[in-house]
Structure 1
Amino acid sequence: MGIRAKAIALGTGIAAVCTVPLVITVTADAAPDVLLSKGRPVVASTVSGTGQDATRAVDGFGSTRWTAGAAGSQWLRIDLGQAQDVSRVRLRWHDGYAKSYRVQVSGDGASWRDLYRTSSGDGGTDDLKKLNGTGRFLRVLATQPGPASGYSLYEVQVFGPGPAAPVVENASPVAASVLAAGLAEPRKKAIALQLVSSAENSTLNWRGEFGYLEDIGDGRGYTGGIVGFCSGTSDMLALVTEYTRRVPGNKLARYLPALRTVDGSDSHAGLDPGFPAAWKAAAADPAFQKTQEDERDRMYFAPAVALASADRVRALGQFAYYDAAVMHGQSGLRSIRADAMRKAKTPKQGGDELVWLNAFLDARVREMRTEEAHSDVTRVETAQRLFLKAGNLDLNGPLSWRVYGDSFTTR
């Protein structure tokens, strides 16, 4: 990721009509299976309202449901409490079903492995048997909607040999707090995107930066778009590859061979002189804008928020993880987190959230100062640390901060 700064060369819920518990039909081939998911902590990428939040998908009632609150790729993630062997997953879709989706498992809530994937979903009930995977977390990742253009699940049931982890009494309130106050809530996500844009683009209007492109001299080649995709760090290549998959023959497609060649360097070989003009022209295409947003979420936002949620930190901590991922990549985020864990425990490990986030920000500052281009640490010290000192763990507005010499305020 590249950064740009002005002063330095761096760049509605619904009412349920009945609450009859969902009947689980046990057939001969499913007899050994134990229901692992009922009542477990669960978070979602977005929710449409408190009446259709993520917990509705694991409450055991056939009339309640989770509904995503936004378009694009969306996910629902269940914490099974401990590593579990997963042999079967049963999905009951509302009208808003996914035509393309994946069922995935993870040991840490960040790195995922597919158990099942399809691009021909047709709604109703999908009873996926003879699965073979192990993980503490299970995620349904919906990537393409059906005709209803949205996603909604009555129930996600996860089965395996068990035993199921006990439902700890204080686990659900913590998960509910993370969901209610975290970046999965659209208004909080909007604040996070503005905060990142203030540092990456010196503006709160990140939607005006689809066409931004320049070499800011940080050794990462061209930096462009809404989060600073870089020609030297693979994410610009991934972005243009995905855009070309969606819109073959677009203005940037001809530069894919050059982007592959310069990946990992600061070279412009094969990109000059036409690439900047092609990028700016492509930025007028709504499909390219949507691809930038989707790739931002796929590569940075969703994994960072999932990792932060697994650590049981609220909106401010989730933003701190996301901002670190934007600048340092996912591997850099994990390195910073590992450094912080030498000094403090995460809330999931029983640590105090304020102590943990201070340790995380300390580790972030140390990492930033290893690179001259990132030696200005105001995006941490006069923004994130400021909110932390005020105890604003839920990132409630209004917010005022300074970064790279500029002052910003948002509701």
Structure 2
Amino acid sequence: MQPSPHTIPSGAPRQHRSPRAARRIALITAAGVLAAGGASLALAAPGSAATVAHGAHAAAARPNATGTGLADSHKKEIAMELVSSAENSSLDWKAQYKYIEDIGDGRGYTAGIIGFCSGTGDMLEVVQHYQDLKPGNILAKYIPALQKVNGTDSHTGLGTAFVNDWKTAAKDTVFQQAQNDERDSVYFNPAVNQAKTDGLGTLGQFIYYDAMVMHGPGDDSVSFGGIRKTAMKKAKTPAQGGDETTYLNAYLDARKAAMLTEAAHDDTSRVDTEQRVFLKAGNLNLDPPLKWKTYGDSYQILTLP
């Protein structure tokens, strides 16, 4: 699927997730550990440490591909886990293909690996792309309804049947690919490309990507482009000859201010106790071990995936 313009309905900037609460993933075994994709994931309970031990030898970190940024698959995996810690209170982002619920934020259903919304157009794009990849799939019949509810919080033509079929579709690797493609074409690639243009390294690329996921593309004051413009009024990007740390601090200040304009996002921990922690440590390359908190829960990534 070619990247398509991602239009956010007026009055509904794409800040889609509220704090974790009911979305904690109930997949923890008695030992508090589940296996996913070859990695052991210790999911955080409030106040506990969530540790990702990648591979059989967690203590032996792989060499880092310095300078490649999030183009490096290991660093991209870290970015996915960091976003998932804030979006789903879980580091197992691949378990989120099946996630779907209406969180009452005026954007209809929120679903999938980064929270595609029925009211903001990207859920429709995912399902249309799935139809392109696999005509006649289980979700194809909902395309007309998704077109009608776009820009609203309506469930008309969707409802329980759609929720159940979304979860069924999530078992299909083709649908998983459709979600991955939408994430990359609309959010990940544009954010990383803009960060590279601005002269930012791995941490800066991740900071841009996380903002793109929550706020969506666009140039208004609470969308990605508007936040960037606000930051650039305070500090020059490295590409403009500015200091990277100074600029990223300005960007995070602007991001936090945008978050505080909406009650559902008045918890700014994904900035304060995650991204700002890495920045203060001077970890511009986003190298593990990484330790952070989102919504009060503690997480760790010990090694490169």
- TM-score of the superposition, structure 1-length normalised? 0.58
Between the aligned partners of 1:279 and 1:9, the Cα distance in structure 2 is 17
CA contact (8 A) 1:222 1:230 kept: yes
Within 5 Å, give how 1:111-130 maps onto structure 2. Answer: none
CA contact (8 A) 1:305 1:322 kept: yes
Aligned AA (2:73): P
Aligned AA (1:238): E
Aligned AA (2:226): S
- Provide the aligned length of Structure 1 versus Structure 2: 245
Aligned in 2, Cα 1:249/1:291: closer, same or farther, shift over 3 Å? same
Q: Which runs of 5+ in 1 are unaligned?
A: 11-176
Counterpart check, 1:378 vs 2:265:
no
Q: Secondary structure of 1:342's partner?
A: helix
CA contact (8 A) 1:4 1:199 kept: no
Aligned twin of 2:154 = 267
Who wins on radius of gyration, i.e. which is larger?
1
Q: Secondary structure of 2:292's partner?
A: strand
Deviations 1:335-391 (A, max 9, x none): 100010111110000110010000000000010011111111000100000100111
Q: Secondary structure of 1:217's partner?
A: coil
Between the aligned partners of 2:251 and 2:101, the Cα distance in structure 1 is 31
Q: Which runs of 5+ in 2 are unaligned?
A: 1-13, 25-63
Aligned in 2, Cα 1:339/1:383: closer, same or farther, shift over 3 Å? same
Counterpart check, 1:6 vs 2:20:
yes
Quick check: which one's helix share is greater? 2
**C-alpha deviation, 1:9, in angstroms:** 8.6
CA contact (8 A) 2:85 2:91 kept: yes
Within 5 Å, give how 1:64-79 maps onto structure 2. Answer: none
Q: Quick one: percent identity of the two aligned structures? A: 56
Between the aligned partners of 2:211 and 2:278, the Cα distance in structure 1 is 16
**C-alpha deviation, 1:297, in angstroms:** 0.7
Aligned twin of 1:154 = none
CA contact (8 A) 1:345 1:356 kept: yes
Counterpart check, 1:361 vs 2:252:
yes
Aligned twin of 2:285 = 394
Between the aligned partners of 1:190 and 1:212, the Cα distance in structure 2 is 19
Q: Secondary structure of 1:402's partner?
A: strand
**C-alpha deviation, 1:267, in angstroms:** 1.1
Aligned twin of 2:174 = 287
Aligned twin of 2:29 = none
Structure with the larger RCO, 1 or 2 (CA within 8 Å, 6+ apart): 2
Between the aligned partners of 2:23 and 2:82, the Cα distance in structure 1 is 20
Aligned AA (1:190): E
Aligned AA (2:20): K
Quick check: which one's strand share is greater? 1
Q: Secondary structure of 2:164's partner?
A: helix
- TM-score of the superposition, structure 2-length normalised? 0.77
Aligned AA (1:348): A
Aligned in 2, Cα 1:178/1:352: closer, same or farther, shift over 3 Å? farther
Aligned AA (1:272): G
CA contact (8 A) 1:6 1:405 kept: no
Within 5 Å, give how 1:25-40 maps onto structure 2. Answer: none
